[in-house]
Amino acid sequence: MIEKDTRVIYFNIGWMRAYRGTAKDDPTIGGHSFFDEEEHEHGAEAFNFLPAADGMMRGYRPPGNKNRTDISRLGASARDESIDGVLVVWLAREPKSNRTLIVGWYKDARVYRQAVKGTHKLYGEFEFYSAEAKAEDCRLLSPPARTFEIRSSRTAPGEGFGQKPTWYGSPKVDERVRSYIAGIDRKRAAKTGRPASPPRNNDPALRRAVEEAAVDHAVAYFKELYGQSCDVKSVETEAVGWDLEVFCDGGPLLVEVKGLLGDRLVCELTPNEYAKMMMRANRSRYIVFVVNNALAASPASPIASVFEHVKCRIWQTRDGRELGIRETKAAILSAGRSAS
């Protein structure tokens, strides 16, 4: 349970898919000089979501034991060596888009002032961890589900993270993040209602490949969000005004999927799609799921923007971006960077 006053801290780490050890096919991707050395394929964050024998997860944040975490900013006294009940949010920069995204979190975590020596060895030395929580209170998002962007102070003065890997947040961003995580928790807990089961692209084959990759990404996203038993039905060939129907708690979500090759979020709805999106009966269930860099290859990842209906004619992502709608005969959709 995340309360509205839960303290939040953000740790910026290297990008990985699983963070469950030093697998050859899952290197740590980051800008630190440590990774410039040829033999250094992993950072200590590789163990951040690997459960320990005692049922805990322990997370590294750069630069290990060299800098302290200022837990007084989380409410600790000057004598305290740790503080409990913190929401630790792990951030990483996606390699292709360079967007810094939430990759996971520890709820009800203990955060240490001075990093503690762990039990995993990396390149002959024990790693250090700065936060720990029960494995059941930890959540790693798979790459398709990493959609929430946290902006830097360079692009969001006063509201974004700085050069250091530890950021103590801001009221505006913290509130949005708490709401986002609580929403995912509610969706994961919900019972499924059914059993399991741009710049114009003139190349038809490439266009179809982008569309198929975007749909696959959307299916993976909803399976991650609601669980693998969630039923996602394709209605792409039925001309109903959306591409997927997602059966979770209650009636189906109506998901229109748009795939894009590049980073710019501009796409077009057909007259039928736009009409169905704007129907009063559909609005609360109609989701516009836009996938940028749809054909990105590992270790990079396609990045989804999930626009949900907020009110009237407004669709918005969880990280605060609003869908701009310019009507033509149908509609052209666009969005800027996160307002966080």
Q: Which of 96-105, 224-233, 246-255 has the highest mean pLDDT?
A: 96-105
Does pLDDT of 210 surpass 70?
yes
Residue 338: its pLDDT value, please? 62
Amino acid symbol at 284: S
What is the fold, at CATH topology level, of the domain defined by 204-334?
Answer: Trna Endonuclease; Chain: A, domain 1 (3.40.1350)
CA atoms within 13 A on the CB side of 263: 9
Between CA 266 and CA 43 the distance in angstroms is 36
Tokens coding 222: 């909803």
Distance CA 3, CA 213 (A): 37
Tens-place pLDDT, residues 25-49: 999 998 665 555 556 789 999 999 9
Res 167: pLDDT: 96
Query: Ramachandran region of residue 55, left (φ > 0), alpha (ψ -120 to 50) or beta?
Result: left
Cα distance between residue 243 and residue 273, in whole Å: 9
Nearest to 88 by CA among 184, 227, 181, 188: 181
Distances (CA, A) of 322 to 288, 299, 308: 11, 29, 9
pLDDT tens profile 274-286:
999 999 999 999 9
Phi and psi at 163, nearest 5°, equal -75, -30
Identify the CA nearest to 100 among candidates 291, 324, 340.
Answer: 340
The CB-based long-range contact list for 320-329 (8 Å cut-off, 24+ gap) reads: 320/176, 323/288, 327/274, 329/271
Amino acid, res. 44: A
Q: What mean pLDDT comes out for the span 61-89?
A: 94
Each residue's pLDDT tens digit, 145-203: 999 999 998 888 878 888 889 999 999 999 999 999 998 887 766 644 443 334 556 67
Task: Give the largest Cα separation in the chain, rounded.
Answer: 66
State the pTM of this model.
0.78
Distance CA 301, CA 214 (A): 11
Cα 307 to chain center, whole Å?
Answer: 14
**Hunting for tokens 């990404």 — which residue is that?**
217
Domain regions of the chain by residue span: 8-189, 204-334
* pLDDT at residue 60 greater than cutoff 70: yes
List alpha helices for the chain, DSSP H: 171-189, 204-226, 271-278
- Using a 10 angstrom Cβ sphere, with 0-12 exposed, 13-18 middle and 19 or more buried, the burial of residue 204 is exposed
Alpha carbon separation from 178 to 48, 59, 72, 182 (Å, rounded): 21, 20, 21, 6
Tokens of 1: 């349970």
Q: What is the mean pLDDT of the chain?
A: 89
Count CB neighbours of 189 within 10 A: 10
Name the residue type at position 293.
N
How high is the pLDDT of residue 192?
A: 44
Q: How far apart are CA 112 and CA 69, in angstroms?
A: 7
Residue with the two structure tokens 């590049």: 262
Spatial distance between the Cα atoms of 83 and 213, rounded to a whole number of angstroms: 44
Burial 130-146 (b: 16+ CB within 10 A, else e): bbbbeeeebbbbbbbbb
Helix (H) or strand (E) holding 8: strand 8-13
d(CA 248, CA 192): 4
